[in-house]
Structure 1
Amino acid sequence: MLDPEGDTHLYLQISEILRSRIGQAAVGDQVPSEADLQHEFGVARTTARRAIRVLRDENLVHTVHGQGTFVGAGPDGPIRPRKTPMYRQIADELARQISAGTYRPRRPIPSETTLSQRYDVARETVRRAMATMRAEGWLYTVPQRGTYVAPEERWPTAPEDRQAPAERVRTPG
């Protein structure tokens, strides 16, 4: 079915197979999950994810978080791009959890693997969120140990403070 030696990426081959299946399906029918595609085609999860992303970008399918991927452009029509990037959403949610006391100063935050599974994103997205939070003063990393919540006095105090420390502009006051 797949041609691993061919000149076409596996994820594109899988998306083509899925496209032909979608042509025979009704709007609202569920598309196989990433895990199902992984098992069926013997590929990595990222390959399955990329195949589904191709179809989503073409508005042939839509994904409902926690429920699955379905045939059609979604109940509200074509899916519009996110206004806030996912890494920023993750950083904002972790900052809220830190502020609320879920994660305490000088204590570790969950690992990249745990966060990527929790938010169903690539580890690179989590890394970018954590790098953003380090630049803002929420986190610090100890090599070979992990990433920790910074002491409270280093946390940003207002939304306008949410930028890299070198970029912060303080007005005399």
Structure 2
Amino acid sequence: MLDHGSSTPVYAQLAALLRAQIKSGELAPGQAIPSEPEMVRQYGIARTTARRAIGALKDEQLVYTLPGEGTFVGSSPEAAPREPANLPPYRRVAADLVERIRAGRWQPERPLPSEQHLMQEYGVAKETVRRAVALLREQGWVYTVARRGSYVSPVDHWPAEG
């Protein structure tokens, strides 16, 4: 994988690895590359190292970033629009939380795990968790009590199955 003892900087090694995956087609145009938190977990690197690797690929116009959604293969959204199946991270988190609510993992009127717990579990930033919870609040799955947290809404407040 990555050789932390090499004379080649780790970010350059990671960029080379991702570049090879793009050129081989393993990462296709429009496909999301791993997020910074995913790279941190997978390769045991600092977030700034992941960011530098992504920056190198952006400089080569191999990837582009859509704020709040991710980094995708291609020189721009017009040249390589992202795949429709690639939901923004906050929507992926929200969809998973809904499935857990439906499955009864969290009962109505009981609290969701803390932001910190969800950030660690999903490997995402605080803003991503907040956007996911805000979406669930808009849809009626949860409600938030100031300085107390977010709770699963009573079943009669859940959106109708569609």
SS at match of 2:52: helix
Per-residue CA deviation, residues 122-149 of structure 1 (Å, 9 max, x unaligned), is 1111110000000110011111111110
Matched residue, 2:55: 54
In structure 1, how many angstroms separate the alpha carbons of the residues matched to 2:136 and 2:14?
42
For residue 85 of structure 1, report the CA deviation from its aligned partner.
1.4
Matched residue, 2:149: 146
Please give the root-mean-square deviation of Cα atoms over the aligned residues, in Å. 3.3
List aligned pairs for 1:63-78, cutoff 5 A.
none
Matched residue, 1:117: 120
Per-residue CA deviation, residues 86-125 of structure 1 (Å, 9 max, x unaligned), is 1111111111110110110000111111111111111111
List aligned pairs for 1:92-103, cutoff 5 A.
92-103=95-106
Give 2:11's aligned amino acid. L
Q: Aligned residues, how many?
A: 116
In structure 2, how many angstroms separate the alpha carbons of the residues matched to 1:157 and 1:130?
18
Give 1:142's aligned amino acid. V
Give 2:136's aligned amino acid. M
Distance 1:150 1:56, change over 3 A: farther
Matched residue, 1:162: none
For residue 50 of structure 1, report the CA deviation from its aligned partner.
2.2
In structure 1, how many angstroms separate the alpha carbons of the residues matched to 2:12 and 2:154?
51
TM-score by length of 1: 0.54
In structure 1, how many angstroms separate the alpha carbons of the residues matched to 2:152 and 2:100?
11
SS at match of 2:117: helix
TM-score by length of 2: 0.57
Structure showing greater relative contact order (alpha-carbon pairs closer than 8 Å, 6 or more residues apart): 2
In structure 2, how many angstroms separate the alpha carbons of the residues matched to 1:108 and 1:151?
12
5+ residue gaps, structure 2, are 1-8, 22-38, 64-72, 74-79
Matched residue, 2:12: 19
